[in-house]
Amino acid sequence: MLLESLEELRVFVQVVDSGGFTGAAQTLGSTTNAVSRLIARLESRLQVRLLSRTTRRVASTEEGRRLYEHALRLLRGAEEAEQSLRPRSGLLDGTVRVAVRTTTVQFGFVQDMAALLSRNPDLRVQLIVSDTELDLAADGIDVAVRVGDLADSAYRSHPLGSVVFVPAAAPHYFAERERPSRPEELVQHECVRALLQRPQTSWRLVGPRARVVEATVGGRFECGDVRAQAEAVYSGLGIGLRPAGEVRTAVAAGNLERVLPSWSMAPLAVHALLSPQRSHNARTDAVVALLKDAVRRLV
């Protein structure tokens, strides 16, 4: 049985990317019932189950995953064929799904993206803000930010730069406290710590002559959300680790003080990952360029 149209493939791919019929319908400007009926008709004609439905999520079967991979290639080819016939306006169009870290958003990425959209009226962006590592293929993501060393993967990577986190605190935090003069004194302070799988009990700091100290840290506030950590630091709750670029701006505004100015975390590499199953085109190139600018502001 042949597929009747590329529209069936487009809807099927969107259901997989969205993880369900409701999300796909919202993205496609359709209804959940219409999307569900189209998928049921497709499965009936192909005589194979493409999706497994649960009360919480719709996922691909093995047959569905194979069709998904072929469908992406066919849709990409159709899109490239259509673009080749359009006048060379130099404008971007289509949809790009981007997953970024909270810190990236805080450093003007949304404003950059708004400017890009204003210059390209046929471009659409779906922005996912998450500090957890998402599965590009499973979540249908075109470009995702990764911080730190990259594990081996099938994804293409583009270096965006590096970011250095430094200790900082609000000036009024020190109203009744002595400022630490060496990393070993951090244990005597309230430190705003990341809430990880295990308690964060130390910060590895690099100082003069590349000396490394595993500084013990304590404190009464731990949080897994980067935005809440930042708010805690700015509100004077304690000393926290913030990107060096952010701290410079905040110090100039009188909102933060650099703590232990000769010490910092080791630089963390930042990469953009692109799934080979998704289109690599001018849209993704434009997003990578914006991400480089955002990371540059963090340094």
pLDDT at residue 15 greater than cutoff 70: yes
Q: Please give the CATH topology (third level) of the domain spanning 165-258.
A: D-Maltodextrin-Binding Protein; domain 2 (3.40.190)
Q: Model's pTM, two decimal places?
A: 0.68
Residues of the chain with CATH 3.40.190.10: 93-159+268-298
Stretch 49-65: mean pLDDT = 83
| CA pair distance 220, 191, nearest whole angstrom | 8
Compute the average pLDDT of residues 60-79. Answer: 82
Say whether pLDDT at 2 is over 60. no
Residues of the chain with CATH 1.10.10.10: 6-85
Distance from C-alpha of 106 to C-alpha of 104, rounded to nearest angstrom: 5
Taking the C-alpha atoms of residue 195 and residue 201, their distance in angstroms, rounded to an integer, is 10
CB proximity list for 44: less than 8 A, separation 6 or greater: none
Partnered with residue 44 across adjacent β-strands are none
Architecture of domain 93-159+268-298: 3-Layer(aba) Sandwich (3.40)
Looking at per-residue pLDDT, the higher value among 229 and 8 belongs to 229
Q: For tokens 């963390």, what's the residue?
A: 268
Over residues 166-191, the mean pLDDT reads: 96
Q: What class has domain 6-85?
A: mainly alpha
Of the listed ranges 29-33, 89-93, 135-139, 277-281, the one predicted with least confidence: 277-281
- Distance (Å, whole) CA 256 – CA 38: 56
Give the mean model confidence (pLDDT) for residues 200-216.
96
Confidence of residue 76 (pLDDT cuts 50, 70, 90): confident
What digits encode the pLDDT tens for the residues 234-268? Answer: 999 999 999 999 999 999 999 999 999 999 999 99
Residue 287 binned pLDDT confidence (cut-offs 50, 70, 90): very high
3-state helix/strand/coil string of the chain = CCCCCHHHHHHHHHHHHHCCHHHHHHHHCCCHHHHHHHHHHHHHHHCCCCEEECCCCEEECHHHHHHHHHHHHHHHHHHHHHHHHCCCCCCCEEEEEEEECHHHHHHHHHHHHHHHHHHCCEEEEEEEECCCCCCCCCCCCCEEEEECCCCCCCCEEEEEEEECEEEEECHHHHHHCCCCCCHHHHHHCEECEEECCCECCEEEEECHHHCEEEEECECCCEECCHHHHHHHHHCCCCEEEEEHHHHHHHHHHCCCEECCCCCECCCEEEEEEECCCCCCCHHHHHHHHHHHHHHHHHC
Closest CA to 258 of 243, 272, 273: 243
How many Å apart are CA 230 and CA 238, to the nearest integer?
10
* Whole-number pLDDT of residue 59: 82
Report residue 86's pLDDT band, with 50, 70 and 90 as the boundaries: low
Asked if residue 206 has pLDDT above 60, the reply is yes
Strand partners, 159: 271
